[in-house]
Structure 1
């Protein structure tokens, strides 16, 4: 993987464990020549991950819709900043530019991005690994809901297996490096 998209929030809750994960992820990217692709904001976790990657000599590419740039939340110190018209264009370009996708703890926008990327993976629109960094069990309930959906036959086991998760950077990156997208026939098989 040469580019990894990180979905994360425009808010930060002050969690020192999350700060450590951000630093670890930025170091992993720098050590492995991975370019950060992210939402382009200078605020919250978005700003923290971009700043950490840049401070370690890495590259950070932001993608932000014009209306958010107009609110002066665009990060102006990036390697590249792409300004698009809509949130949908933002999500499309983020996935298109990425070899892998990670969701850090975040809010509704993070979940929206995560589930759209997973749906596109399920439909065969991309083949990149998608994972959640389940810091201190942040995503436990969400992962459990996916298990319930699978148990009740609203989700195929192969689709559930597409959702990678780990509690630390090394574990998640290892799972992503070893990911092999299942053929479309498996996902839609009865």
Structure 2
């Protein structure tokens, strides 16, 4: 694994623990030699992830649509900033460049981006590892919903089991690296 795509909020959330975990995840990705691919913003959890990776000398690629460049305050110290025309192009770039995916806390955009990746994973379009950094139990309700979907036979157990859920950044990075290369179930 050479690069990890991270989906997260452009806002910091109401508890500083979210920004701290995002920063730590960026640090851990850089320490593991992984290039960080993310939404390109300098605010919220996006900015924290980028700053954490950059602080450890990591490489960071941001992908941001022209329409959000000012709104999300495009980060000006990245290794690379790719500007695209649409959100669809943003997601395609982030997918193509990532060898694994992580969702951090965020809003509806974060949820939509990660769910699309999980959908592609579930239908066999890719076998790239998918993980969730469950800071402060943020994703507990979603994970409960996924289990309910499995119990109601709308999601297979194999698909649900392939989603890594972890609350410690270093452990999540290690688990994703361990899962790399496993065949799609």
- Same fold (TM > 0.5): yes
Displacement of 1:16 in angstroms is 3.0
Deviations 1:126-151 (A, max 9, x none): 22111101112111110000000000
Relative to the length of structure 2, the TM-score reads 0.92
Partners of 2:126 and 2:78 in 1: how far apart? 26
Aligned residues: 183
Partners of 2:41 and 2:123 in 1: how far apart? 29
Structure with higher Rg: it is 1
Matches within 5 A, 1:20-31: 20-31=20-31
Secondary structure of the equivalent of 2:184? coil
Name 2:124's counterpart in structure 1.
124
Matches within 5 A, 1:93-172: 93-172=93-172
Alignment RMSD, CA only?
A: 1.6
Conserved 8 A contact 2:165-2:172? yes
Conserved 8 A contact 2:43-2:72? no
Structure 1: runs of 5+ lacking an equivalent: 184-190
Runs of 4+ more than 3 Å apart: none
Conserved 8 A contact 1:158-1:182? no
Conserved 8 A contact 1:164-1:172? yes
Name 2:36's counterpart in structure 1.
36
Partners of 1:72 and 1:145 in 2: how far apart? 30
Partners of 2:175 and 2:72 in 1: how far apart? 36
Matched, 1:78 2:81: no
Going from structure 1 to structure 2, the CA distance change for 1:19 and 1:68 (only over 3 Å counts) comes to closer
Relative to the length of structure 1, the TM-score reads 0.89
Secondary structure of the equivalent of 1:146? helix
Secondary structure of the equivalent of 1:37? strand
Conserved 8 A contact 2:26-2:48? no
Structure 2: runs of 5+ lacking an equivalent: none
